[in-house]
Homo-oligomer: A and B are copies of this chain.
Amino acid sequence: MAERAHALSTVDGYSGYGAEQGEKKLRAAIAATYYADLGIDETDIFVSDGAKCDISRLQVLFGSKVKIAVQDPSYPAYVDSSVIMGQTDLYQQDVQKYGNIEYMRCSPENGFFPDLSKVPRTDIIFFCSPNNPTGAAASRDQLTQLVKFAKDNGSIIVYDSAYAMYISDDSPKSIFEIPGAKEVALETASFSKYAGFTGVRLGWTVVPKELLFSDGHPVAKDFNRIVCTSFNGASTISQAGGLGCLSPEGLKAMQDVVGFYKENTKIIVDTFESLGFNVYGAKNAPYVWVHFPDRNSWDVFAEILEKANVVTTPGSGFGPGGEGFVRVSAFGHRENIIEAARRLKQLYK
C-alpha cells in the first residue's frame, strides 16, 4: 500500500478513477483464491470498501417493497439497512422485532440453524456463516437445505462469509460450494477480519451471472449499475493492499493472523468452560458465544464491564434471540486476552 501511495506521485504510477468494479488483477486474484473450481470468475466479483457498505448497496438494489429474513441473532446491519430502506413496519417493543422482517431463531436447541419448514417465504434471506455473533458455521447439509428452500420459494440469499477463513472443520467456506447456489445466492466478504483491514476498507461481493430476478433480468447487471452510480470503486491504495493479501506471502500472513486469533479464542473458551458456562461458536469463528441462562444480556455486560473492566457485547443487541448471551471477541493482544481471562476467573469463580 505504501508503494502504491508513493507511485501516485509519479507520472507512470498515477491512476485516477479506476474500474468501479475493482481492478482486474484484484478481481482475478479473489476469484482464483476463494472460488477456484466453483464456477465463479473475475467478472462475477465486485470489489468494495467493505461488506457493510455492500449490504446497504444491495438493499438499495432490492428497494423498499421486499421482505427480508435474518438469522436471530445476527449482525445488525441487515435489519438496520432494511429499516432505513423502508422495508419494515414499526418496531414492536413487546417482541423486540421490527414488523415485516422474518426472524429465524438460531439457538443451542436447533444447533443454531433454523427449522426451515416453519419459516415463511421472504424475498431476501440474509445468512451469515460463520455467524456473527454466535460463531456457528452451517454444515454442507444445512446449506443444501437453505439453497433448496430459496429455490423452492424464489428467494435470493445474501450470504455473508466475512469469517469464512476461521472455519476449522469441513463446513463450506462459500455458499457456492453447494450445487445450484449460483442460481439463488450472492455472497459478500471482506478483508477486515483476515488482514486487520477494518480501517483500510476492502471487501468484495460475488454476484453470479446465473442469479436472475423473477423476471429473468440478471441481478449482476442491476448491481453493476448501482456500483457505478453510487460508488466509484474502493481506494486504489486499499486495492493494492488486497493484492498483497492474496500473494503467497500475504496468504501466509493472513493464515497466521487467523491462527493467532483462534488461539485467543481457545483461551476464552477454556476460561468460561472452567467456570462452568456453556459456550458456543469459537471453533469456526473469532467469537465466543457465552450463555448466561435467565439473565439479561445488558446486565451481564454491565457486570463484566464494571467488576472486571472487560468489554463484551450484549447478545440482545443482535436480535431478541441473543438475550441471555454475551459475545466475547478474540480480536485482541494476547496479553490483554490473558488478563481478561484472569479477571473473568476472579469474577465468576
Contact = CB atoms under 8 A, between A and B. Distances in A.
Interface of A: 1-3, 5-6, 8, 14-18, 49-50, 52-53, 55-57, 60, 63-64, 77, 80-81, 84-86, 196, 198-201, 225-226, 229-238, 241
A84 to B, nearest CB: 6
Contacts of A231: 49, 52-53, 56
Nearest to A239: B199
A16 to B, nearest CB: 4
Contact of A8 (B56, B60, B200): B200
Given A2-B5, A53-B231, 4 more contacts: A16-B198, A84-B229, A199-B233, A200-B236
A229 B237 CA distance: 24
Contact of A237 (B60, B81, B235): B235
A147 B150 CA distance: 51
Contact of A232 (B50, B84, B229, B237): B50
Given A5-B1, A63-B86, A237-B238, A230 B198 contact: no
Given A1-B5, A237-B235, A56 B199 contact: no
Contacts of A232: 49-50, 52-53, 198, 201
Contacts of A235: 49, 199-201, 234-235, 237-238
A227 B53 CA distance: 10
A2 to B, nearest CB: 4
A202 to B, nearest CB: 8
